[in-house]
């Protein structure tokens, strides 16, 4: 684990041919819904240089809440499902409306944990994703909250993004949040220092975890992002943790955020 003085290997960002980007609910819903346009700007620039891009986007429940006159995230499963059904429709419309500026077509892909555990469903999902990418469609992936149950949920979309990275053999996973990097302790606390790079075998035992993201609308935190980064890295995909506000710089290869080294992929 090194601190910000050492620059990560950002050439791997520019050279990546297949990139998964994950954005959380708090970054693109409510008062932050306007962040969709600059996020799309960054995705479109990456798409324009020839990379294949997949967006894993949370936010269906948070986006649907105002339409159900809800002031807070519902706690019961049925209302979560209803909010997701409404919000997913609005969310995809917002993304496509923004992507229209670049003549990029989005493809909606909704998954449950069972889809990636069942070999037949997993194969079908993989085939669909490969075809979408081959057609230069930008897949937008989310958990299928309308039909998912507590027992079969991914738990958070950070983990979903890591599993999607594995599914499609991504060269890079970018996890976006409200915080610009992983810190040695919660960033609002005195003495917190940003971490520039995490070696694959670093257990981060010296890091004091706090939440990443705004409370009330999402389900993730620093712990889920580290777990997802470690999961993707174990499968051979390096991970960059950055803020949604810095997504353009991150995808352009500038030095920002925290880089997680990947384990060497086994020879094929």
Q: Tell me the binding residues for ATP.
A: 22, 177-178
Q: Is the distance from CB of 254 to CB of 15 less than 8 angstroms?
A: no
Which residue's structure tokens are 């299928």? Answer: 144
Instruction: Give, rounded to a whole angstrom, the gap between the first and last alpha carbons of the chain.
Output: 30
Q: Tell me the binding residues.
A: 22, 58, 145, 157, 177-178
Q: Tell me the binding residues for substrate.
A: 58, 145, 157
Closest by Cα among 243, 246, 224 to 178: 243
Q: Is the distance from CB of 259 to CB of 197 less than 8 angstroms?
A: yes
Give the pairing type, strands 172-177 and 18-23.
parallel
| Distance of alpha carbon 254 from alpha carbon 247, whole angstroms | 10
Q: Over 72-124, what HEC string results?
A: CCCCCHHHHHHHHHHHHHHHHHHHHHHHHHHCCCEEEEEECHHHHHCHHHHHH
Which residue's structure tokens are 């469609």? Answer: 137
Tokens representing 248 are 């353009």
| Distance of alpha carbon 80 from alpha carbon 201, whole angstroms | 38
């Amino acid at each position: 684990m090194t601190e910000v003085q050492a620059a990560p290997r950002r050439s791997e960002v520019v050279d990546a041919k297949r990139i998964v980007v994950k954005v959380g609910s708090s970054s693109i819903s409510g008062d932050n819904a306007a962040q969709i346009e600059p996020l799309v700007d960054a995705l479109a620039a990456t798409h324009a240089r020839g990379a294949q891009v997949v967006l894993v986007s949370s936010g269906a429940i948070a986006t649907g809440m105002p339409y159900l006159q809800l002031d807070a995230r519902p706690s019961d499963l049925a209302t979560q499902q209803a909010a997701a059904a409404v919000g997913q429709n609005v969310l995809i419309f917002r993304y496509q409306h923004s992507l229209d500026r670049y003549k990029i077509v989005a493809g909606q892909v909704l998954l449950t944990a069972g889809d990636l555990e069942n070999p037949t469903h997993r194969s079908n999902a993989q085939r669909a994703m490969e075809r979408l990418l081959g057609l230069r469609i930008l897949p937008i992936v989310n958990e299928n909250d309308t039909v998912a149950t507590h027992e079969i949920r991914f738990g958070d979309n950070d983990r979903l993004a890591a599993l999607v990275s594995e599914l499609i053999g991504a060269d890079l996973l970018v996890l976006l949040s409200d915080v610009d990097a992983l810190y040695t302790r919660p960033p609002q606390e005195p003495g917190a220092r940003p971490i520039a790079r995490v070696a694959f075998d670093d257990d981060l035992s010296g890091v004091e975890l706090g939440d990443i993201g705004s409370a009330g609308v999402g389900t993730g935190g620093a712990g889920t992002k580290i777990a997802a980064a470690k999961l993707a890295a174990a499968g051979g995909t390096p991970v960059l943790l950055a803020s949604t506000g810095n997504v353009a710089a991150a995808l352009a290869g500038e030095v920002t955020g925290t880089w997680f080294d990947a384990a060497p992929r086994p020879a094929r």
